[in-house]
Amino acid sequence: MIYAAFLRGMNLGNRRITNDDLRAEFERIGLDSPRTFQAAGNVVFESPVKSEPKLTKLIESGLEEGLGYAVPTVLRNASELAELVGAEPFPAKDVKASKGKLQVLLLASKPTAAARRTVLGHSTGEDRLAFGERELFWLPSGGISDSDLDLRAIEKALPTGTMRTRGTIERLAAKFLD
């Protein structure tokens, strides 16, 4: 089965790893055909393991052992990634008109109804929010650094996650899943 691993906190601060070294870590863990995309901790690989919790634990423990620090990992299988690419959380005209890039917070698990309500309470006309199954979509009206959205409060209310632009996810899927 083909999976995409979205790793949180890669190449930040003193944490630096090349794509070659990251692929080598995935091979050392026992995962097949690892391919990296950009330098932000995006790895597409194959594994016969079909239990996402087991596979996540294997990757997280293996990377921590090999790199010396925790690497929170969010997985999506190929069909989930295809669904994510096809999702339309906001009208296309609104996405096109926005000066900001559509962001996707990929979550490790499904958020509770209470968490969803809390997070959606932060949505404004300038920073629109919508949920998928295990994703939070954020359409900022401008650059994310210009936003007043309280990302810390949002991330605190939700399961472990990591952010990517929708464009990154689309390009990754087009390159490795077609």
Provide the pLDDT for residue 73.
97
Provide the pLDDT for residue 40.
76
Asked whether the beta carbons of 122 and 70 are under 8 A apart, the reply is no
Q: Cα-atom radius of gyration of the chain, to the nearest Å?
A: 16
Q: Which listed CATH number (3.40.1350, 3.30.70, 3.90.1150, 3.30.420) goes with 86-166?
A: 3.30.70
Provide the pLDDT for residue 12.
78
The fold for domain 2-81 equals: Alpha-Beta Plaits (3.30.70)
Which pLDDT tens digit goes with each residue over 109-138?
Answer: 999 999 999 999 999 999 999 999 999 999
Provide the pLDDT for residue 10.
86
Within 8 A by CB and 6+ apart from 71, the residues are 7, 8, 9, 10, 41, 59, 60, 63, 64
Distance CA(12)–CA(154), nearest Å, equals: 21
Q: Which residues of the chain have pLDDT under 50?
A: none
Edge-first strand listing for the sheet containing 2-7: 32-37, 42-46, 2-7, 73-77
Asked whether the beta carbons of 41 and 22 are under 8 A apart, the reply is yes
**Range list for CATH 3.30.70.1280 in the chain:** 2-81
